[in-house]
């Protein structure tokens, strides 16, 4: 058995505050955010629900578009640090 470690890479991310919906929509242009009675869902591979404080992370970019992930604030801060 071999051991592996996570390779760190720089990613783009934005924190959803509930007040910045227009900014988030502009940032993720080709993805859809659905308002389900005040609960927002992001069209992604896993169909995430967005809550205030969640971070949206671009985890992959290709000619097919961008692949997004949603991380809870606590998890995001454990996994990422601000790049210079």
pLDDT tens, residue order, the chain (84 aa): 756 565 677 888 999 898 888 898 888 776 667 777 767 777 666 667 788 899 988 887 777 777 888 889 998 888 888 877
Give the whole-angstrom CA distance, residue 10 versus residue 59. Answer: 9
* 64 in Cβ contact with 48 (< 8 Å): no
Helical residues (DSSP H) of 11-53, grouped into ranges: 21-27
Record the pTM. Answer: 0.71
Q: Which two tokens stand for residue 44?
A: 């992604």
* 61 in Cβ contact with 80 (< 8 Å): no
């Amino acid at each position: 058995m071999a051991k592996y470690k996570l390779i760190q890479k720089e990613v783009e991310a934005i924190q959803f505050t509930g007040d910045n919906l227009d900014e988030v929509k502009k940032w993720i242009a080709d993805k859809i955010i659905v308002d389900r009675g005040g609960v927002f869902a992001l069209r992604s591979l896993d169909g995430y629900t967005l809550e205030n404080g969640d971070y949206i992370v671009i985890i992959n970019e290709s000619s097919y578009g961008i692949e997004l992930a949603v991380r809870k604030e606590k998890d995001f801060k454990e996994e990422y640090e601000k790049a210079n």
